[in-house]
Amino acid sequence: MTRRLKLAALVCVYFSAGAGSAVAQGQAVGAPPEASNMRLVGYSDLQARSAYQPTIHHQGERWIAYIGHHGGTDDIPAPVNPQTGKPEPNGTSIVDVTDPAQPKYLRHIPGQEGKYEAGGAQMVRICDGKALPKGDPTAVYMLRTFGGEAHEIWNVADPQNPVLITRIGGLKDTHKNWWECETGIAFLVSGAPDWRTRRMTQVYDLSDPAHPVKIRDFGLPGQQPGATGAVPTELHGPISTGREGNRVYFGYGTNKGGFLQIVDREKLLNGPKEPTADNLQLPEISRLALSAFNGAHTVFPMTNMPIAEFAKDKDGKTRDIVMIVDEAILNECNEPRQMVWFADVTVEKLPMMISSFTVPEASGSFCERGGRFGAHSSNESTAPVYYKKMAFIAFFNAGVRALDIRDPYHPTEVGYFIPAITAATDKRCVTIEGKDRCRTAIQTNNVETDERGLIYIVDRANTGMHILELTGDARKAAGLQ
């Protein structure tokens, strides 16, 4: 069969499959996906590249998905791009999802040469030029990482013919950035060469993407140049509520000793810039420490959230909530369980944990399936279709889980989707008595939603991108028709 026919056959299998029961161990090529209250709408193999961050952008009359990729693998360090016929280091995939049932792969932009975390172009954010204060109104700007060494900005107004605009280089690591389109302020997760940590924050004014202006370096006291003693845990990523919300929520650590840091945005931008211990401490409002077992991959704020249970209370009818998602790192449960946590930060000086969520391991014998099992990331869109109502959590070999979060004190799973593996799905190994034991399993890595209510999941183990929609009770819980 040709590659096109194989893909068509695979999609037909997906569409004909209904809800599936959990398998005891492993997955098999050709088996249907496992699902409850979620349905596959469309699929792209993403050229069998390991995928990290999807960002979905309503671009004119089109919907475009921009997907960041990890580096290549030992077996395939640079997959062949069928559009060029040449091997290319993993970078950024651009896919037209206007018709989600028939995604159209438009372009691959190669990233840094290298394998796994050492290459690729993992992170993608998009801003329209007309939204940025000093942007070209005809442009659409894509901010991406370039391996660990740089951040790049491209004009993707014509997504099939992207043009590089500028580059911020000379770094030792990069990761999960945040870009405010309405102000142009960007919080770039970087590794400044003179800092004592792998990842910290470089704050830039990217309101004119062609002329970046650095505002300051920021991190934890003890990470700055010239500090002594123990180095605090590294940054994973921030989310800002912008000028109006005046808060930046930073997540540190991924799978151990992590914490949520709440920062006053105005003080961060306009306070003293020299990275002394006192100046780094000044913008901080509070921290919420996690245990030595857990970290913070994604910290997603939901402020002024109405709580139905408190509707008749004199005070506290709404609460400020932050959803904290850990990252599972090790295969086959060789670490403490990484989970989802909900924190009430209404009293900012005294944030407190109020609930948690995990997938029951026994529901799918997930520790025996191979690969990672545990939380990794959540959707980050604040579009009204799901914001403060539903959350979608990438759970590696347990697929994506749909949570009803209208009562964040009691989050409830209402659906899930675990894709089927394909011939391209990469193996994951553990060492047992000096020998590698390898298994093939889905590794749902990251998830995003769009304003239409579609859910996009991408796979770390080269299985591609699945476009989903809610069905049944999950759809009702989200208030969808």
Per residue in 441-459, pLDDT tens?
999 999 999 999 999 999 9
For the cut 90, the answer to whether the pLDDT of residue 24 exceeds it is no
What is the residue type of 185? I
Strand 185-190 and strand 178-179: pairing?
Answer: antiparallel
Q: Which residues pair with 282 in a beta bridge?
A: none
Contact 379, 449 (CB under 8 A): yes
- Total H helices, total E strands in the chain: 5, 34
For the cut 90, the answer to whether the pLDDT of residue 32 exceeds it is yes
Contact 206, 225 (CB under 8 A): no
Predicted pLDDT of residue 118: 83
Distances (CA, A) of 413 to 37, 354, 360, 374, 444: 10, 17, 11, 15, 17
For residues 26 and 365, give the distance between their C-alpha atoms in angstroms, rounded to a whole number.
9
For the cut 50, the answer to whether the pLDDT of residue 94 exceeds it is yes
For residues 308 and 280, give the distance between their C-alpha atoms in angstroms, rounded to a whole number.
38
Mean pLDDT of 21-31: 67
Residues 6+ apart with CB under 8 A from 432: none
- Range of weakest confidence among 5-9, 127-131, 313-317, 402-406: 5-9
Structure tokens belonging to residue 159? 């997504």
Q: What is the chain's mean pLDDT, rounded? A: 93
* Maximum Cα–Cα distance across the chain: 67
Q: Which residues pair with 260 in a beta bridge?
A: 251, 288
For the chain, percent of residues with pLDDT exceeding 90: 90
338-356 residue pLDDT tens: 999 999 999 999 999 999 9
Give the closest residue to 327 by CA, choosing from 409, 422, 393.
393
Mean pLDDT of 196-208: 97
278 three-state secondary structure = helix
**What is the H or E stretch that residue 268 is in?**
helix 265-270
Residue 84 burial by Cβ neighbours in a 10 Å radius (0-12, 13-18, 19+): exposed
For the cut 60, the answer to whether the pLDDT of residue 9 exceeds it is no
Q: What is 146-196 written as a DSSP string?
A: ETTTEEEEEE-SSTTS-EEEEEE---S-B---EE-TTT-EEEEEE--TTSS
Predicted pLDDT of residue 25: 60
User: With bands split at pLDDT 50, 70 and 90, how would you rate the model's confidence at 255?
Assistant: confident
Give the closest residue to 57 by CA, choosing from 103, 96, 1.
96
Distances (CA, A) of 34 to 15, 22, 23, 363, 396: 12, 7, 9, 12, 14
Predicted pLDDT of residue 267: 98
Predicted pLDDT of residue 279: 98
Q: What is 72-109 written as a DSSP string?
A: B-SS-SS-EETTTTEE--S-EEEEE-SSTTS-EEEEEE
Predicted pLDDT of residue 74: 87
36-93 residue pLDDT tens: 999 999 999 999 999 999 999 999 999 999 999 999 988 899 999 999 999 999 999 9
What is the residue type of 301? P
Contact 148, 173 (CB under 8 A): yes
Query: Burial letters for 396-427: b for 16+ Cβ neighbours within 10 Å, e otherwise?
Result: bbbbbbbbbbbebeebebbbbbbbbbbebbbe
Predicted pLDDT of residue 151: 97
Go through the chain and tell me how many residues it has: 481
For residues 14 and 475, give the distance between their C-alpha atoms in angstroms, rounded to a whole number.
20
Residue 349 burial by Cβ neighbours in a 10 Å radius (0-12, 13-18, 19+): exposed
For residues 431 and 427, give the distance between their C-alpha atoms in angstroms, rounded to a whole number.
13
Q: Tell me, what DSSP letter sits at residue 43? A: E
Predicted pLDDT of residue 70: 95
For the cut 50, the answer to whether the pLDDT of residue 15 exceeds it is no
Query: Edge-to-edge strands of the sheet including 352-357?
Result: 298-306, 318-325, 340-344, 352-357
For the cut 60, the answer to whether the pLDDT of residue 11 exceeds it is no
For the cut 50, the answer to whether the pLDDT of residue 408 exceeds it is yes
Predicted pLDDT of residue 395: 98
